[in-house]
Amino acid sequence: MLRGYRYRLYPTQDQKVLIAKHLGCCRFAYNWALARKNRAYRDEGISLSGYDLMKDLVPLKAEYPWLKEVNAQSLQQSIHHLSRAFTNFFESRAEEPTFKTKHTPEQSFTVPQSYTVDFKHGTVRLPKIGAIKTVFHRTFTGKVKSATVSRSSAGRYTISILVEDGQKPPTPEEPIPNQTVGIDMGLSHYAVLSTGERVENPGYLQNAQKRLTVLQRRLDRKQKGSKNRTKARLKVARCHQTIADQRRDFQHQLSSRLVRENQALAVESLNVDGMVKSGRGAKRQAPLADNAPQRVVTLNPKLARAISDAGWGTFLSMLGYKCQTAGKTLLAIGVFEPSSKTCSVCGSRKADLTLKDREWTCPACGTHHDRDLNAAINIKQFALTGAGRAEEPVDSLPPGRGMKQEAPSVRVG
């Protein structure tokens, strides 16, 4: 299996300058390759491959000598990332690649090889940068692959090392009904399980909103280009970083506990990107069949901030790769399965159920349902019986039964 290990870096001031050069040059190479690829397709009707673009890096360095100050393989890797982005776009896994900007909250570049990890002295030696002080909270064994250096808007430097441990992923067993739990994601409660357990939504962004508003107001009053504005911007970025760290820690603890305590998990595929889109409500579409019309669901745009704060997509990704590592089964049902409107006792549907109805009584059998608990039970039943199908794969969450990949990538730490 491929495992990713993430560590904190503490570069010197000179190394920070070199890292900034790598970030800028790799971003320039990516944008140059994207512009050239688009121009060749528009003017000549040809599609340049990644290999064709990499061959032109040599004359590009002659035109821009400052590109020679960074690792050549990192520039080539940027073009490789562009080729992968177009592949994902043509296979409908991502949107069309766009130009990168230096204002992105997190910048990164990749070192494919020729770097060394020294656990004894606590350093990682990178080409053209040197040995950087690193905090290794855990060690690893196996064959190292690529390493990705990242810098956040808060000034935090990290490195993600991809390692091939030489082990085969365990084969997931067939789900056992009484050891399978259905999970319904929500906002009032972060998750409601089919067992009746309710996990409260921590709402880290909402809790820090008052402090964040004050910091953003101070930033807005600072003169552009001044040192005080830079200091104020860092305070806002660090506040956002704290919120993200708290959310990630909560998601890791919850996902690890669910995978550890259950033999199989059943979730609902969620189009999170469509939910948070602004405008006249977020819309998400999914074809029901090859020639069938598309169904459109309009959501309240006022819920976009709360949905973003919940981080459902990241949580489902964590469940996915942790189930792979533990040999557990992750089942997913389609986004349009009527899990909330279907009675989990008799199977009848209440078509006029609205979002504000948190409790309802089945008109057929008279059972009084809690909306979220009923949805969690139905998600489990739909997944086990195969009645649900994931129409849209979400992040790394695979549709259907099981999670079978030849070389799964697992993120650790």
- pLDDT tens readout for residues 182-237: 999 988 899 999 999 999 999 999 999 999 999 999 999 999 999 999 999 999 99
Sheet harboring 198-200: ordered strands across?
198-200, 189-193, 180-185, 264-268, 329-333
Is-catalytic flag, 395?
no
Helix pair 227-261, 312-326: axis angle to 10 deg: 40
Q: Please enumerate in sequence order all residues whose Cβ is within 8 A of that of 113, keeping only pairs 6 or more positions apart, or say none.
A: 73, 146
Flag whether pLDDT at 294 surpasses 70.
no
The confidence score (pLDDT) of residue 288 equals 37
Containing H/E element for 37? Answer: helix 13-43
Flag whether pLDDT at 26 surpasses 80.
yes
- How far apart (Å, rounded) are the C-alpha atoms in residues 387 and 197? 24
Q: pLDDT of 357-411, one tens digit each?
A: 888 888 888 888 888 898 899 999 888 887 443 333 334 443 333 333 333 344 4
Concatenate the DSSP letters of all residues of 285-302 into one string. Answer: EEESSSSSPEEEEEE-GG
Give percent of the chain above pLDDT 70. 88
180 forms beta bridges with: 264
Flag whether pLDDT at 293 surpasses 50.
no
Q: pLDDT of 150-169, one tens digit each?
A: 999 999 999 999 999 888 88
Kindly report the pTM of this predicted structure: 0.82
- How far apart (Å, rounded) are the C-alpha atoms in residues 405 and 154? 36
Bigger pLDDT: 293 or 229?
229
**Distance between terminal CA atoms of the chain?**
16
Q: What's the average model confidence in pLDDT over 240-251?
A: 95
Which one from 309, 372, 391, 392 is the annotated catalytic residue?
Answer: 372
Q: Is 141 exposed, middle or buried (0-12, 13-18, 19+ CB in 10 A)?
A: exposed
359 forms beta bridges with: 370
The confidence score (pLDDT) of residue 257 equals 95
Please give the radius of gyration of the chain, using alpha carbons only, rounded to the nearest integer.
24
Flag whether pLDDT at 253 surpasses 90.
yes
Q: What's the average model confidence in pLDDT over 306-314?
A: 89
DSSP-derived letter for residue 239 is H
- How far apart (Å, rounded) are the C-alpha atoms in residues 339 and 350? 11
Flag whether pLDDT at 39 surpasses 50.
yes
DSSP-derived letter for residue 175 is P
Is-catalytic flag, 372?
yes
Give exposure, 90-103, as e/b (b: 16+ Cβ within 10 Å): eeeeeeebeebeee
Which one from 14, 96, 197, 268 is the annotated catalytic residue?
Answer: 268
List the structure tokens of 271: 């189009």
Containing H/E element for 234? Answer: helix 227-261
Flag whether pLDDT at 317 surpasses 70.
yes
Q: Is 174 exposed, middle or buried (0-12, 13-18, 19+ CB in 10 A)?
A: exposed
CB 153 within 8 A of CB 232: no
- Comparing 23-27, 118-122, 344-348, the range with the smallest average pLDDT is 344-348
Q: What's the average model confidence in pLDDT over 57-73?
A: 94
Is-catalytic flag, 173?
no
318 forms beta bridges with: none
pLDDT band with cut points at 50, 70 and 90 for residue 301: low
